[in-house]
Amino acid sequence: MAFGTGHHPTTSLCLKTLASLFNKGMLNKECRFLDLGSGSGILGIAGAKLGMSGIGLDIDGSAVDNASENISLNNVEDRFLVRRDDITSITISEKFNLVFANILASTLRNLAGRISSLLHGKSYCLILSGILENQTENVASAYEELGLGTPLIRHEGEWSALIWTHEQRR
């Protein structure tokens, strides 16, 4: 099974954040999402179950196969597609209202410019996880330097999630 059953704190943080943002009306059925490092597809499936549509990318073929199976089992093929690829396959003109990235902290930091360039300027939510608590400041600073402002930080055990929304942008 690919990473992402919903039980790991990093996945749980993302799912709880997604539910909270949706319940607050910051996300809706019109939103388009990107699930970067989709693993089992659980985050994208959750978004699709809420009525949003989007794509998932993973560089691991086994993860893509597993996510595709899970997408089918959850009957969200019409709203969520996953493919074996990386973020460079997304054109700079494509914009997303929601970006999930539950991957290594070092990768999140290295991809900060690319990830932030894909956010819809007027209405977006960015949820980053896969970050150990002691890595939080390092990852957050890469996005703060790009003008996203200070993130909301949630912790579960030794893990953290960083959350930015269009309302936080300075």
Residue 121 — pLDDT band, cuts 50, 70, 90? confident
Residue 167 — pLDDT band, cuts 50, 70, 90? confident
What is the average pLDDT score of the chain? 93
Residue 152 has pLDDT above 80, yes or no: yes
Q: Is residue 4 part of a domain?
A: no
Q: Is residue 3 part of a domain?
A: no
* 34-93 tens-digit pLDDT: 999 999 999 999 999 999 999 999 999 999 999 999 999 999 999 999 999 999 999 989
**Neighbouring residues of 58: CB distance < 8 A, sequence distance ≥ 6:** 2, 37, 38, 39, 64, 67, 82, 84, 85
Q: Is residue 97 part of a domain?
A: yes
Q: Is residue 21 part of a domain?
A: yes
Q: Is residue 114 part of a domain?
A: yes
**Mean pLDDT along residues 105-127:** 95
Q: What is the domain count for the chain?
A: 1
Q: Is residue 149 part of a domain?
A: yes
**Neighbouring residues of 89: CB distance < 8 A, sequence distance ≥ 6:** 57, 83
pLDDT score of 2 = 46
Q: Is residue 112 part of a domain?
A: yes
* Type of residue numbered 13: L
Residue 170 has pLDDT above 50, yes or no: no
CATH number of the domain where residue 24 is located: 3.40.50.150
- Percent of the chain predicted with pLDDT > 70: 95
Closest residue by Cα to residue 97 from 136, 59, 127: 127
Q: Is residue 45 part of a domain?
A: yes
> Sign of dihedral through CA atoms 22, 28, 116, 74?
positive
**Mean pLDDT along residues 2-31:** 87
DSSP code for 81: E
Residue 81's domain comprises 9-165
Express the helix, strand and coil content of the chain in percent, nearest 5 each: 35, 25, 40
CA triple 115-137-33, angle to 5 deg: 25
Residue 4 has pLDDT above 60, yes or no: no
Rounded Cα gap, residues 155 and 170, in angstroms: 24
Provide the angle, in degrees to the nearest 10, between the axes of the packed helices 9-23 and 42-49. 20
Closest residue by Cα to residue 41 from 90, 95, 79, 89: 79
